[in-house]
């Protein structure tokens, strides 16, 4: 896991990456998202108020997860393609549903959720990020989010495991 980089560097964009909130937005997560430039939610949001709370911190890009049902979720896309500082980023909930070759498509990063397992891994020059889950604990997996640091020349990420009371 990489050390944190301050978001006050003018030539860097810091993205808070979350997934699998399932309606629960922990105060411990909000502390880490308080000073990011943008937030990406990789699905299984759980309730519209989660996105409303996140939008109070920064602009939010979100995809719909397999558990996001109902009229509130219908307007949320299943996938997103973002371009930040010249880097192409593909966002989807379940990595198993990717329908392109990230390297061939010129992607710098792929953001996904679904598994609740935090991951930062480079494959064929593409950074794969799964922030884990900041929602209800699943099995013995950690409660975590990610931060993505983007400059004109690089995309880097770190997993932040939340320290919960008790």
Q: How far is CA 121 from the centre of its chain?
A: 14
Q: For 13-161, CATH number?
A: 3.60.21.10
Nearest of 106, 105, 108 to residue 156 by alpha carbon: 108
Burial of 166 by CB count in 10 Å (0-12 exposed, 13-18 middle, 19+ buried)?
A: exposed
Q: What is the mean pLDDT of residues 133-159?
A: 94
Q: What is the mean pLDDT of the chain?
A: 92
Task: List, for residues 4-61, the tens digit of each pLDDT value.
Answer: 333 445 699 999 999 999 999 999 999 999 999 999 999 999 999 999 999 999 999 9
Is pTM beyond 0.85? Reply is: yes
**Domain limits, the chain:** 13-161
């Amino acid at each position: 896991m990489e050390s944190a980089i301050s978001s006050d560097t003018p030539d860097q964009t810091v993205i808070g990456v979350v997934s699998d909130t399932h309606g629960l937005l922990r105060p411990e997560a909000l502390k880490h998202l308080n000073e990011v430039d943008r937030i990406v939610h990789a699905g299984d949001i759980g309730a519209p108020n989660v996105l409303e709370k996140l939008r109070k911190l920064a602009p939010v890009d979100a995809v719909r997860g397999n558990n996001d049902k109902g009229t509130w979720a219908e307007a949320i896309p299943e996938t997103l393609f973002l371009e930040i500082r010249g880097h192409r980023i593909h966002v989807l909930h379940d990595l198993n549903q990717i329908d392109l070759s990230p390297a061939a498509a010129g992607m710098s990063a792929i953001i996904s959720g679904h598994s609740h397992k935090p991951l930062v891994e480079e494959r064929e020059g593409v950074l794969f990020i799964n922030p884990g889950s900041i929602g209800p604990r699943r099995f013995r997996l950690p409660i975590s989010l990610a931060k993505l640091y983007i400059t004109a020349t690089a995309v880097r990420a770190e997993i932040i495991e939340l320290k919960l009371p008790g």
